[in-house]
Amino acid sequence: MKALVIGLGSIGRRQASLLAGRKGIELRAFRSDPRSGPNDLGLPEMRDWSEASRWAPFAAFICNPTYLHLETARRCAELGCPLFIEKPLGAAREGLDELLEVVGRRGIATYVAYNLRFHPVIERLRQWAGEHPVLHARIVCTSHLGLWRPAAAPLKTYSAYRSQGGGAMLDLSHELDYADWILDGITKIDGRLGRRGRVTEDAEDCVDLLLEGRRGWADVHLNVLSHQRQRTIQIDAEDMTVAGDLVDASLSSFHHHELVEKTDYGLAIQDTYDRQIDYFLAHIDDPRMMNNVFAAAELLRKMIGFKDAHEPSE
Protein backbone atom coordinates (compact mmCIF):
# COMPACT_ATOMS: atom_id res chain seq x y z
CA MET A 1 0.00 0.00 0.00
CA LYS A 2 1.36 3.40 -1.00
CA ALA A 3 1.03 5.93 1.84
CA LEU A 4 1.93 9.61 1.58
CA VAL A 5 2.79 11.55 4.75
CA ILE A 6 2.38 15.29 4.27
CA GLY A 7 4.44 17.29 6.74
CA LEU A 8 7.32 15.99 8.85
CA GLY A 9 6.97 18.05 11.99
CA SER A 10 6.74 16.28 15.34
CA ILE A 11 3.39 14.63 14.64
CA GLY A 12 4.25 13.81 11.03
CA ARG A 13 7.44 12.10 12.15
CA ARG A 14 5.50 10.12 14.74
CA GLN A 15 2.94 8.89 12.21
CA ALA A 16 5.63 8.14 9.63
CA SER A 17 7.56 6.06 12.18
CA LEU A 18 4.43 4.10 13.05
CA LEU A 19 3.64 3.45 9.40
CA ALA A 20 7.21 2.48 8.58
CA GLY A 21 6.99 -0.29 11.15
CA ARG A 22 4.04 -1.97 9.41
CA LYS A 23 4.46 -4.53 6.67
CA GLY A 24 3.17 -3.91 3.19
CA ILE A 25 3.35 -0.11 3.32
CA GLU A 26 5.45 1.86 0.85
CA LEU A 27 5.96 5.24 2.45
CA ARG A 28 6.89 8.61 1.00
CA ALA A 29 6.92 12.14 2.39
CA PHE A 30 5.48 15.27 0.78
CA ARG A 31 7.29 18.46 1.78
CA SER A 32 6.45 21.78 0.15
CA ASP A 33 9.05 23.95 1.89
CA PRO A 34 12.07 24.25 -0.44
CA ARG A 35 14.24 25.21 2.54
CA SER A 36 13.83 21.81 4.22
CA GLY A 37 16.76 19.46 3.83
CA PRO A 38 16.57 15.68 3.44
CA ASN A 39 14.62 14.01 6.24
CA ASP A 40 16.49 11.88 8.74
CA LEU A 41 13.90 9.10 8.51
CA GLY A 42 15.30 8.09 5.14
CA LEU A 43 11.95 8.54 3.37
CA PRO A 44 11.84 9.31 -0.35
CA GLU A 45 10.38 12.79 -0.82
CA MET A 46 8.24 14.63 -3.34
CA ARG A 47 7.66 18.36 -3.56
CA ASP A 48 4.77 19.03 -5.96
CA TRP A 49 1.24 17.78 -6.48
CA SER A 50 1.79 16.58 -10.04
CA GLU A 51 4.40 14.16 -8.71
CA ALA A 52 2.02 13.01 -6.00
CA SER A 53 -0.71 12.46 -8.58
CA ARG A 54 1.59 10.34 -10.76
CA TRP A 55 2.66 8.26 -7.76
CA ALA A 56 -1.06 7.65 -6.93
CA PRO A 57 -0.98 7.03 -3.16
CA PHE A 58 -3.53 4.67 -1.68
CA ALA A 59 -3.79 6.76 1.52
CA ALA A 60 -2.72 10.24 2.61
CA PHE A 61 -1.68 11.22 6.15
CA ILE A 62 -2.10 14.98 6.54
CA CYS A 63 0.24 16.19 9.29
CA ASN A 64 1.17 19.73 8.20
CA PRO A 65 0.23 22.89 10.17
CA THR A 66 -3.45 23.25 11.05
CA TYR A 67 -4.19 26.16 8.73
CA LEU A 68 -3.14 24.02 5.73
CA HIS A 69 -5.24 20.97 6.59
CA LEU A 70 -8.39 21.75 4.60
CA GLU A 71 -6.63 22.72 1.38
CA THR A 72 -4.26 19.76 1.62
CA ALA A 73 -7.08 17.35 2.39
CA ARG A 74 -9.05 18.60 -0.60
CA ARG A 75 -6.06 18.11 -2.91
CA CYS A 76 -5.60 14.56 -1.61
CA ALA A 77 -9.32 13.83 -1.85
CA GLU A 78 -9.18 14.80 -5.51
CA LEU A 79 -6.60 12.03 -5.93
CA GLY A 80 -9.29 9.66 -4.64
CA CYS A 81 -7.32 8.33 -1.68
CA PRO A 82 -8.53 7.80 1.91
CA LEU A 83 -7.56 10.58 4.30
CA PHE A 84 -6.04 10.47 7.78
CA ILE A 85 -6.12 14.09 8.95
CA GLU A 86 -4.34 15.20 12.10
CA LYS A 87 -6.47 17.14 14.55
CA PRO A 88 -8.07 19.56 14.29
CA LEU A 89 -9.74 19.25 10.91
CA GLY A 90 -8.96 22.89 10.12
CA ALA A 91 -8.39 26.40 11.44
CA ALA A 92 -11.30 28.16 9.71
CA ARG A 93 -14.57 27.42 7.94
CA GLU A 94 -13.24 28.56 4.57
CA GLY A 95 -12.59 25.50 2.44
CA LEU A 96 -14.60 23.14 4.62
CA ASP A 97 -17.60 22.80 2.33
CA GLU A 98 -15.33 22.26 -0.68
CA LEU A 99 -13.59 19.38 1.11
CA LEU A 100 -16.88 17.79 2.14
CA GLU A 101 -18.18 18.03 -1.43
CA VAL A 102 -15.16 16.20 -2.89
CA VAL A 103 -15.14 13.55 -0.18
CA GLY A 104 -18.88 12.92 -0.57
CA ARG A 105 -18.71 12.81 -4.35
CA ARG A 106 -15.75 10.41 -4.37
CA GLY A 107 -17.05 8.27 -1.49
CA ILE A 108 -13.70 8.47 0.28
CA ALA A 109 -13.03 7.04 3.73
CA THR A 110 -11.74 9.71 6.11
CA TYR A 111 -10.67 9.96 9.74
CA VAL A 112 -9.77 13.05 11.82
CA ALA A 113 -7.10 11.92 14.26
CA TYR A 114 -7.94 12.36 17.93
CA ASN A 115 -5.85 9.62 19.48
CA LEU A 116 -7.36 10.08 22.97
CA ARG A 117 -10.44 8.24 21.67
CA PHE A 118 -8.20 5.19 22.03
CA HIS A 119 -7.20 5.95 25.63
CA PRO A 120 -8.76 3.31 27.93
CA VAL A 121 -9.92 5.97 30.41
CA ILE A 122 -11.87 7.80 27.69
CA GLU A 123 -13.24 4.54 26.28
CA ARG A 124 -14.48 3.48 29.72
CA LEU A 125 -15.96 6.91 30.52
CA ARG A 126 -17.87 6.95 27.25
CA GLN A 127 -19.33 3.56 28.10
CA TRP A 128 -20.05 4.69 31.68
CA ALA A 129 -21.81 7.86 30.53
CA GLY A 130 -24.09 5.75 28.37
CA GLU A 131 -25.13 3.75 31.45
CA HIS A 132 -25.50 6.56 34.03
CA PRO A 133 -27.34 9.90 33.66
CA VAL A 134 -24.63 12.56 33.64
CA LEU A 135 -25.27 15.46 35.99
CA HIS A 136 -22.08 17.37 35.33
CA ALA A 137 -18.57 16.89 33.99
CA ARG A 138 -15.38 18.86 34.58
CA ILE A 139 -12.43 18.66 32.19
CA VAL A 140 -9.00 20.19 32.74
CA CYS A 141 -6.00 20.23 30.40
CA THR A 142 -2.95 22.36 31.20
CA SER A 143 0.66 22.35 30.00
CA HIS A 144 3.32 24.80 28.79
CA LEU A 145 3.64 25.54 25.08
CA GLY A 146 7.38 26.00 25.42
CA LEU A 147 7.77 22.32 26.32
CA TRP A 148 5.78 20.89 23.42
CA ARG A 149 8.51 21.14 20.80
CA PRO A 150 11.80 21.61 22.68
CA ALA A 151 13.79 22.13 19.47
CA ALA A 152 11.67 25.12 18.41
CA ALA A 153 11.08 28.49 20.06
CA PRO A 154 7.34 28.74 20.89
CA LEU A 155 6.87 32.04 19.04
CA LYS A 156 8.28 30.49 15.85
CA THR A 157 5.68 27.72 15.63
CA TYR A 158 2.18 27.88 14.14
CA SER A 159 0.75 27.23 17.61
CA ALA A 160 1.58 30.82 18.57
CA TYR A 161 -0.52 32.41 15.82
CA ARG A 162 -4.29 32.65 15.70
CA SER A 163 -4.37 32.86 11.89
CA GLN A 164 -2.46 29.58 11.60
CA GLY A 165 -4.80 27.62 13.86
CA GLY A 166 -2.77 28.11 17.02
CA GLY A 167 -4.17 28.77 20.46
CA ALA A 168 -5.37 26.62 23.30
CA MET A 169 -8.82 25.90 21.89
CA LEU A 170 -7.74 24.19 18.68
CA ASP A 171 -4.37 22.92 19.88
CA LEU A 172 -6.06 21.29 22.88
CA SER A 173 -9.21 20.32 21.02
CA HIS A 174 -8.72 16.71 22.12
CA GLU A 175 -10.74 17.74 25.17
CA LEU A 176 -13.64 19.08 23.12
CA ASP A 177 -13.55 16.03 20.87
CA TYR A 178 -13.80 13.52 23.69
CA ALA A 179 -16.37 15.69 25.50
CA ASP A 180 -18.40 15.61 22.30
CA TRP A 181 -17.96 11.81 22.13
CA ILE A 182 -18.79 11.16 25.78
CA LEU A 183 -21.73 13.59 25.94
CA ASP A 184 -23.24 12.27 22.68
CA GLY A 185 -22.71 15.56 20.87
CA ILE A 186 -22.05 19.13 21.97
CA THR A 187 -25.02 21.35 21.20
CA LYS A 188 -23.69 24.67 22.53
CA ILE A 189 -20.37 26.27 23.51
CA ASP A 190 -20.21 29.28 25.82
CA GLY A 191 -17.42 30.85 27.85
CA ARG A 192 -14.38 33.04 27.32
CA LEU A 193 -10.82 32.88 26.11
CA GLY A 194 -7.81 35.11 26.58
CA ARG A 195 -4.11 35.68 26.16
CA ARG A 196 -2.85 35.97 29.72
CA GLY A 197 0.84 35.22 29.23
CA ARG A 198 3.50 35.60 26.56
CA VAL A 199 3.83 32.07 25.21
CA THR A 200 1.94 32.96 22.02
CA GLU A 201 2.12 35.89 19.62
CA ASP A 202 -1.60 36.62 19.36
CA ALA A 203 -3.44 33.33 20.00
CA GLU A 204 -5.32 32.54 23.19
CA ASP A 205 -3.36 30.70 25.86
CA CYS A 206 -6.26 30.26 28.31
CA VAL A 207 -9.84 29.07 27.68
CA ASP A 208 -12.79 28.45 30.02
CA LEU A 209 -15.86 26.88 28.44
CA LEU A 210 -19.32 25.73 29.39
CA LEU A 211 -20.51 22.97 27.08
CA GLU A 212 -24.03 21.71 26.68
CA GLY A 213 -24.24 18.15 25.43
CA ARG A 214 -27.10 15.77 24.78
CA ARG A 215 -26.13 13.79 27.89
CA GLY A 216 -25.34 16.71 30.19
CA TRP A 217 -23.19 19.75 30.87
CA ALA A 218 -19.44 20.09 31.18
CA ASP A 219 -17.10 22.89 32.12
CA VAL A 220 -13.71 22.80 30.45
CA HIS A 221 -10.48 24.59 31.36
CA LEU A 222 -7.63 24.66 28.84
CA ASN A 223 -4.35 26.52 29.00
CA VAL A 224 -0.88 26.33 27.46
CA LEU A 225 0.93 28.52 30.01
CA SER A 226 0.90 26.25 33.04
CA HIS A 227 3.99 24.70 34.59
CA GLN A 228 1.81 21.90 35.93
CA ARG A 229 0.85 19.24 33.42
CA GLN A 230 -2.74 18.06 33.92
CA ARG A 231 -5.24 16.11 31.86
CA THR A 232 -8.25 15.09 33.93
CA ILE A 233 -11.97 14.49 33.58
CA GLN A 234 -14.53 14.12 36.35
CA ILE A 235 -18.13 13.05 35.80
CA ASP A 236 -20.80 13.33 38.50
CA ALA A 237 -23.90 11.10 38.51
CA GLU A 238 -26.61 10.59 41.14
CA ASP A 239 -24.96 7.66 42.88
CA MET A 240 -21.30 7.99 41.96
CA THR A 241 -18.50 10.22 40.72
CA VAL A 242 -15.81 8.93 38.40
CA ALA A 243 -12.49 10.73 37.95
CA GLY A 244 -10.06 9.94 35.17
CA ASP A 245 -6.43 11.00 34.94
CA LEU A 246 -5.18 10.67 31.38
CA VAL A 247 -1.55 11.36 32.26
CA ASP A 248 -1.44 8.61 34.89
CA ALA A 249 -3.91 6.45 32.91
CA SER A 250 -6.06 5.81 35.96
CA LEU A 251 -9.78 5.85 36.71
CA SER A 252 -11.23 6.26 40.21
CA SER A 253 -14.80 5.83 41.44
CA PHE A 254 -16.20 7.64 44.51
CA HIS A 255 -19.37 7.25 46.58
CA HIS A 256 -20.24 9.38 49.63
CA HIS A 257 -16.78 11.04 49.44
CA GLU A 258 -15.07 7.64 49.70
CA LEU A 259 -12.86 6.01 47.09
CA VAL A 260 -14.65 2.84 45.98
CA GLU A 261 -12.36 1.59 43.26
CA LYS A 262 -9.28 2.64 41.31
CA THR A 263 -8.04 1.12 38.08
CA ASP A 264 -4.53 1.74 36.77
CA TYR A 265 -4.29 0.95 33.08
CA GLY A 266 -0.49 1.12 32.79
CA LEU A 267 -0.79 2.86 29.45
CA ALA A 268 1.97 4.48 27.44
CA ILE A 269 0.55 7.31 25.33
CA GLN A 270 2.34 5.78 22.33
CA ASP A 271 -0.18 2.92 22.56
CA THR A 272 -3.03 5.26 21.64
CA TYR A 273 -1.25 6.30 18.43
CA ASP A 274 -0.62 2.64 17.56
CA ARG A 275 -4.25 1.73 18.13
CA GLN A 276 -5.40 4.73 16.11
CA ILE A 277 -3.30 3.76 13.08
CA ASP A 278 -4.57 0.18 13.35
CA TYR A 279 -8.16 1.45 13.42
CA PHE A 280 -7.67 3.61 10.33
CA LEU A 281 -6.00 0.84 8.34
CA ALA A 282 -8.69 -1.66 9.36
CA HIS A 283 -11.48 0.70 8.17
CA ILE A 284 -9.72 2.27 5.21
CA ASP A 285 -12.50 1.28 2.81
CA ASP A 286 -15.35 2.50 5.05
CA PRO A 287 -16.61 6.07 4.41
CA ARG A 288 -18.59 5.75 7.67
CA MET A 289 -15.42 5.45 9.73
CA MET A 290 -15.59 6.94 13.23
CA ASN A 291 -14.97 10.70 13.30
CA ASN A 292 -14.91 11.10 9.55
CA VAL A 293 -14.74 14.60 8.08
CA PHE A 294 -18.53 15.03 8.16
CA ALA A 295 -18.72 14.21 11.86
CA ALA A 296 -15.63 16.29 12.69
CA ALA A 297 -16.95 19.24 10.65
CA GLU A 298 -19.92 19.65 13.01
CA LEU A 299 -17.66 20.20 16.01
CA LEU A 300 -15.18 22.31 14.04
CA ARG A 301 -17.93 24.73 13.00
CA LYS A 302 -18.93 25.17 16.65
CA MET A 303 -15.33 25.72 17.78
CA ILE A 304 -14.57 28.21 15.01
CA GLY A 305 -17.86 30.01 15.62
CA PHE A 306 -16.96 30.43 19.28
CA LYS A 307 -13.42 31.59 18.50
CA ASP A 308 -14.65 34.08 15.90
CA ALA A 309 -17.07 35.56 18.42
CA HIS A 310 -14.43 35.93 21.14
CA GLU A 311 -11.25 37.85 20.48
CA PRO A 312 -8.48 36.98 22.96
CA SER A 313 -8.56 39.42 25.89
CA GLU A 314 -5.39 40.43 27.70
Judged by phi (left if over 0) then psi (alpha if -120 to 50, else beta), residue 192 lies in beta
How many Cα atoms are found within 13 Å in the side-chain-facing hemisphere of 21? 10
pTM above 0.85, yes or no: yes
Domain limits, the chain:
2-115, 120-266
> Across all residues in the chain, what is the average pLDDT?
94
The pLDDT > 70 percentage for the chain reads 98
DSSP per-residue codes, 195-258? --SSSSSSS-SEEEEEEEETTEEEEEEEESEEEEEEEEEEEE-SS-EEEEETTTTEEEEEETTE
pLDDT band at 61 (very low <50, low <70, confident <90, very high): very high
Checking if the pLDDT of 34 tops 70, the result is: no
- The reported pLDDT for the residue numbered 313 is 67
**The three-state (H, E, C) secondary structure of 60-93, written as one string:** EEECCCHHHHHHHHHHHHHCCCCEEEECCCCCCC
Greatest Cα-to-Cα distance within the chain, rounded to the nearest angstrom: 64
Average pLDDT over residues 33-43: 81
pLDDT, tens digit, for every residue of 214-270? 999 999 999 999 999 999 999 999 999 999 999 999 999 999 999 999 999 998 899
pLDDT band at 151 (very low <50, low <70, confident <90, very high): low
Checking if the pLDDT of 104 tops 70, the result is: yes
Fold entry, domain 120-266: Dihydrodipicolinate Reductase; domain 2 (3.30.360)
- The reported pLDDT for the residue numbered 35 is 72
Fold entry, domain 2-115: Rossmann fold (3.40.50)
CA distance 134 to 128: 9
Checking if the pLDDT of 83 tops 90, the result is: yes
Give me the phi and psi of 244, to 5 degrees please: -110, 140
pLDDT, tens digit, for every residue of 163-217? 899 999 999 999 999 999 999 999 999 999 999 999 999 999 999 999 999 999 9
CATH topology agreement for domains 2-115 and 120-266: no
Checking if the pLDDT of 123 tops 80, the result is: yes
